[in-house]
Amino acid sequence: MIDEKPILEKLKAKACFTSPDIAVVLGSGLGSLADCDGGQSVSYSEISGFPRPTVAGHGGKIVFAEFNGKTVMMFQGRFHYYEGYPMDVVTLFPRLAAALGAKLYLVTNAAGGINKEFNPGDLMVIRDHLNLMGTNPLIGKNRDELGPRFPDMTHAYNPEFSRLLLECGKALGVEMREGVYAALTGPSYETPAEIKMLRTMGADAIGMSTVPEVIVARHAGLKVCGVSCVTNLAAGVTDQPLSHAEVLETGEKVKYDFVKIISMFLERVSI
């Protein structure tokens, strides 16, 4: 079991902003928001005991920055279940965010488009999710001091903040989608038959992250909202084979719009 206490202490010793209002997790290819001017950066490697990401395209740092008077803590580089990390490592970010007093946990990720209306490069506000990882990060003895045994997931993705994300897209002239994000463990991409099944189940996009973090964030009472970047069409939607290079390439193409939308959201949001 990962011990958050020494990590929190080291983080507090290294960073001058230690009480974030908002935590943001930046998905594959979407890390550029953390490269903003005036932020204070702490590499994961500077914090002993902090796990290290193993996937190319993930930077591995925490950046604290101010957006219109609000302190935002950004995680660039997440820990995935498919990398072999246990669920307590996969969900370390919402645990740290909650312990530091953040009120909102904003998730972003790269996802495959299942909805036939979607195109690569689309940004989708996450309305809800399907946990198809075959596990749940809250399995085991409940940490009653952090949250309830059976947390409600009815409005897991806060409707008010989701609306604000859509409004920011509109204000910036970027049409955003809305939909359901399904998570499988990966690391293999899905088969066309699996994508057909997921579509029938109500999924609009598919990815390999986010859902465990959202469950832990909701357990801890954090409000949550999220954006998926549709980096590719899911398997079988076209004949095209899938590659991580395509995921990163699309992330690179949309990063300008993505950064503008998330920045405007962080400026405008009141928490």
- Measured from the CB atom, the residue of 105 and 189 that comes closer to ligand HPA is 189
CA-based max dimension of the chain: 51
Least gap, CB of 193 to ligand HPA (angstroms)? 14
Least gap, CB of 42 to ligand HPA (angstroms)? 27
Please answer whether residues 31 and 59 qualify as being in contact, where contact means their C-beta atoms are separated by less than 8 angstroms. Answer: yes
Which one of the listed residues 44, 83, 109, 189 is annotated catalytic?
83
Q: Active-site residue 244, yes or no?
A: yes
- CA–CA separation, 209 vs 229, rounded Å? 13
Q: Active-site residue 155, yes or no?
A: no
- CA–CA separation, 42 vs 48, rounded Å? 12
Which one of the listed residues 80, 205, 219, 220 is annotated catalytic?
80
Least gap, CB of 124 to ligand HPA (angstroms)? 12
* Residues contacting residue 49 through CB under 8 Å, at least 6 positions apart: 2, 3, 6, 7, 10
- Measured from the CB atom, the residue of 205 and 216 that comes closer to ligand HPA is 205
* Residues contacting residue 200 through CB under 8 Å, at least 6 positions apart: none
Q: Active-site residue 232, yes or no?
A: yes
- Measured from the CB atom, the residue of 98 and 206 that comes closer to ligand HPA is 206
Given CA atoms 92, 98, 101, 102 in this order, what sign does their dihedral have?
Answer: positive
Binding site for ligand HPA (CB under 6 A): 110-112, 189-190, 206-208, 231-232, 234, 242, 247
Least gap, CB of 233 to ligand HPA (angstroms)? 8
Q: Active-site residue 74, yes or no?
A: no
- Measured from the CB atom, the residue of 72 and 110 that comes closer to ligand HPA is 110
Which one of the listed residues 23, 34, 102, 110 is annotated catalytic?
110
Q: Active-site residue 208, yes or no?
A: yes
- Measured from the CB atom, the residue of 132 and 166 that comes closer to ligand HPA is 132
- CA–CA separation, 211 vs 197, rounded Å? 19
> Residue 205's beta-bridge partner residues?
113, 181
Least gap, CB of 207 to ligand HPA (angstroms)? 4
- CA–CA separation, 147 vs 216, rounded Å? 9
Q: Active-site residue 129, yes or no?
A: no
Which one of the listed residues 156, 232, 235, 263 is annotated catalytic?
232
Q: Active-site residue 124, yes or no?
A: no
Q: Active-site residue 209, yes or no?
A: yes
Q: Active-site residue 219, yes or no?
A: no
Burial class (CB in 10 A: 0-12, 13-18, 19+), 248: middle
- Residues classed as catalytic: 28, 58, 80, 82-83, 110, 208-209, 232, 244
